[in-house]
Structure 1
Amino acid sequence: MLTLPTYDNRLEEYSLTGDALIPRAPRVPLTRTAFAAAHVVSDPIAERDPWVGSPAVDWDNTLRFRHWLWDQGLGLAEAMDTAQRMMGVDWPTAKELIERTMREAKAHPLKPRVACGAGTDQKELSDLKTNEDILAAYTEQMEAIEAAGGQVIIMASRAFPSINAGPEDYAEVYRKLLRQAAAPVILHWLGDMFDPALTGYWGSQDVGAASDAVLAIIEEHKDKVDGIKISLLDQAYEEQFRARLPEGVRLYTGDDFNYADLIEGDGKHYSHALLGAFAAIAPVASQALEALSEGDHDTYHALFAPTVPLSREIFKAPTRFYKAGIAFLAWLNGAQSHFIMPGGFQSSREITHYSEVFRLADKARLLSKPDVAVERMTLLLKLHGIG
């Protein structure tokens, strides 16, 4: 029995409901590609001045979590915004993370698929004033990812909105990036709810005009585009966009609220997954996708349905703080020994939020080590003067 705070400023007793899923690999090949976007934790002993400079990454715990995802048959989206790119994790750290992760992935028995984020964050925005500047920064990171053996995700760059780039600027830079890519890449459209500095991406704040701009880029270079990840949290828009993609180009949903319906599809089109939420709900994601692959839609929805309230809590506004909830669940499930994050990011959410995540994770069958989860939740409550 735990005493947990509520959003109406009360304390209430809570007991686990039990029936947690046991993490495991799927029994059958999955019919959807699923990337879980993983986070990073810092070494609590080695960290110094956490708000300044590069983090002291806890490599053992950070890589241990990736193995936990791979062991469940999920792919990995590495060094994305989930890994605190531009929010505590700089490019030298991200590059080392990519290189370490790729070595681990190559040695893993399931040979998991890994795609890695290429951005422009090794440069200050003040140094990225022209299309040529942006192209050079992207190129450096893409070459590092390809050298490590990873698939490239061309992440959305704050540099474009900062210079008020128009659609023709995006087309010029992306055209050159796609031509020089060694293999098909994944494009990345991250909404301003995740990063306000990306407002107006693709050269317009009108979503229709932005869609036309990026679809034109994809159509021109569809042989070099594996797919596009869209994180706009708008199911209807994603479905409309998905139907306009050229044949063979995938839509990777980044919609952490509506993933179940989008991945299942409408009978004609469906989305694949590149989700931060999947790092939080990995056992359900793996086993729900297994059910879908077996044609068992009832089990698919029964597993996913309780995770939606949990994901909405983790990704509540301000959405950019969602990474703390994912790291918290990794700690509760014993996939990591702590959840100390670069820049002290674990403090971006309050104890009431963590308590609600605990309740909802339990109801979603995601506390796979109940005794560990209760012990660790009790420690966190005591730290906050509760209990």
Structure 2
Amino acid sequence: MVPANDMISYHLLEETLGNGLKGVVAYLKHNIKHHFIISDDNGKVHYPAIPEGHPGLVDDHYIDIPKVTDDSKYLYREKEKKLYFLLGQESIDAYIIIYDIEKRGLPDVLPFINHTRLALKYYFANLKSIERVEKSLKNELLQDLLYNNNAHLREVLKNTDKQKLDINQIYYIGIIEPESDINIDTLYSYSKEWLQSRNYDPICSIWMNSLIVICPVHFKDDTLEIDSNWDRHYTNVRKHKNDMEKRFDIKCSIGIGQKYPLMELHRSYNEAKIALHVSRLMGERNFIKHFRDLGIFTLLYKHDPEVLKDYCFKMLGKIIDHDRIYESELMAALRLLFDTNMNWKETASSLFIHVNTLRYRMNKIEELLEVDLSTTQTQANLFMALKLYDSLVANAYINE
């Protein structure tokens, strides 16, 4: 004869197979008499659900999850009168959080929560399995899109109608990179929910530990021309960024490429990367930067990368070779001198050297390059070459 507790667990599992969380929720509501929520390991709340037409509630559907390092099945915070029940074995898959419960009341609710363990374990394992398949499809698609594998891309698009990509549509790419420590899966889950709740149609995915957002460009209803009004897109991007930062107490930066047909979208991706890297090299943090707003770098990066590499090595090659052969730090000293707006004292202090040592290094650079660093033209040329070189390194066009 099957024990009564096991019968309840199996019954809840059967309910979950057909009706999702409804059976588990009804069982807990009937037995524990406390407000509760059910969330996944990223803090996304699966019960209660977000009411349709209320996008502003997305923030309320992501909670802060406590870090648990031992093998406890639950964590009770007496000051908050809050119980975190952990679901999972080798790793935590989900939580049931019970609110406003006294410690002495735990023995009354834990048996009922335990009855739901099997059903919830199945529910979240199934969700993770579906997510893995979706990520695999997206990764295959992104691999072809971002690395210009058009032949295979056409085949993938034929068999992948869920990704909502149109070979005849125009798109641009945004790359979101957090500047604070946060699980990228959590940001992805939040961003996906945020976009869906507002009926926006970009495709969001994780790529190289960043968030990639593929955004369609819309057409004007009256003329069927491309709507080039960037302000509307910028407003949405800024709102998304602000909401993420506020919800998770982080800072992030966003690089945006120009618009292209789907089969040329790798160009937008490269431009978005350049927008991120060049802006950081110029000392910016916590920004939204479009490739077209990079000033002279926008013009430079319209050239073939090989041409840019040749230019950098023509301008800086002798310094690079000297550093490599003699293990000197001429490039580092020049880079920092520009970053401090030619402040010799501040540069020397940052390098932990005497100002005279810094002057010796700059004299060596002048000797190698046959230039005069005191002239504005030389400073401008070397500054551009150095920043261009660093951005080519950051984008893997040059291997140091």
TM normalised by structure 2 equals: 0.23
TM normalised by structure 1 equals: 0.24
Point out the structure with the larger helix share.
2
Higher relative contact order by CA 8 Å / sep ≥ 6: 1 or 2?
A: 1
